[in-house]
Structure 1
Amino acid sequence: MFETSLTVAGKVVTEITRHTFPSGDRKTSFRLMARERRFDREVQDWIDGDKVFVHVNCWRRLAEGVAVSLVKGDNVVVTGRFYVREYFTDSGERRISNEIDARSVGPDLAWCTVSVERPSPGLVSASTGAATEEVVAAA
């Protein structure tokens, strides 16, 4: 099956929300705003252009890493599966939401520096080579 992958750099504009489902699956979500910046030759300065809002959903391990690492106002880079969701309000009004099911989320290093916490060698599973604890980046 084909899917649309998208990478967006922008700012977290809502509080990070967490949800744990009865199955144990974890989801963290937030709203991202990406704004065009362009140079205006008439005024010889950078100006803000169009902006787009995207709802970002993070699942499982990524959900945990995002929840403990990011806050409203952080500049991030998000990569994942892009889709448009249509829904109706209680009053019957049709709405459309741009959404990304994130595969990767990280701080935008053009705006901050980070210190990466890596798991110690004893915390890596021998059978899969995967870390048994989250890798967390802090701004």
Structure 2
Amino acid sequence: MYEAMATVIGTVVTHPAKRDLNTGEQVLTFRLASNSRRFDQATGSWVDNGTLFLTVSCWRRLVPGVEASIRRGDPVVVYGQLRSHEYRTRDGVERRDLEMRASAVGPDLNRCTARIAPRSDSGTGSVAEGVIRNTCHGSSAEQDARVGQGLGETAATVPSASTQSAEPEPVDA
């Protein structure tokens, strides 16, 4: 396993799923697709040049904010510890999977708009009623990730951190 801090820009391709662990902690996970794009001078347009898929796991104070804000199809920026897991399947095939233990998740404001809704200290604040909708258009892989009839109408509401504490949160918080 290799670990490195990284920032990945991409599109959420699965619905975020929250699980309660035996330890009493909660974890929220989703799959992220990050497209590599390049400018094709022959055609004069941008073309997809491969997609990186990884699993993002959110822990502790990040769980309620991501659960209330992020949906499948949303363009996001994720920062955290990138890990490579190497394992062997039941069939004996060696595989490698990428996982990111997120420290921060937010909307990619290059591809959408969002309204900030402060969260209470308990982390159970409500989501703002008048959310600005995502009206951007992305690459073909991003379009494949979107769901529903209004393809460009996914929302991202980002809770801001509590102003009560000036102490930074640990990396694996």
TM-score range, shorter chain: 0.7 to 0.9
Deviation at 1:134, TM superposition (A): 5.5
**Contact 2:36–2:49 (Cα < 8 Å) also in 1:** yes
Q: Aligned equivalents of 1:108 and 1:134: distance in 2?
A: 24
1:132 equivalent among 103, 122, 126: 122
Q: Give the letter aligned to residue 33 of structure 2.
A: M
**What does the per-residue CA deviation read over 1:24-58, in whole Å, with 9 as the maximum and x for residues that have no partner?**
11100111111112211111111111221111111
Q: Aligned equivalents of 2:89 and 2:113: distance in 1?
A: 41
SS across alignment from 1:71: coil
SS across alignment from 1:68: helix
Q: Give the letter aligned to residue 138 of structure 1.
A: T
SS across alignment from 2:23: coil
**What does the per-residue CA deviation read over 1:55-107, in whole Å, with 9 as the maximum and x for residues that have no partner?**
11110121221122111111100000111011222223221101110000001
Q: TM-score, normalised by structure 2?
A: 0.67
Q: Aligned equivalents of 1:72 and 1:39: distance in 2?
A: 27
Aligned match of 1:67: 67
Q: Which moved more, 1:76-85 or 1:14-23?
A: 14-23
Summarize the alignment of residues 22-41 of structure 1 with structure 2, pairs less than 5 Å apart.
22-41=22-41
Q: Aligned equivalents of 1:39 and 1:134: distance in 2?
A: 44
SS across alignment from 1:22: coil
1:91 aligns with 2:91: yes
Deviation at 1:133, TM superposition (A): 2.4
1:50 aligns with 2:50: yes
Alignment length (residue pairs)? 128
Q: Aligned equivalents of 2:123 and 2:19: distance in 1?
A: 19
Aligned match of 1:126: none
**Contact 1:61–1:134 (Cα < 8 Å) also in 2:** no
Q: Sequence identity, in percent?
A: 39
5+ unaligned residues in a row in structure 2: which ranges? Answer: 128-155, 159-173
Greater strand percent: which structure?
1
**Contact 1:66–1:105 (Cα < 8 Å) also in 2:** yes
Q: Give the letter aligned to residue 107 of structure 1.
A: P
Q: Give 4+ residue runs of structure 1 displaced > 4 Å after superposition.
A: 134-137
5+ unaligned residues in a row in structure 1: which ranges? Answer: 124-130
Q: Give the letter aligned to residue 35 of structure 2.
A: R
SS across alignment from 1:95: strand
RMSD: 2.0
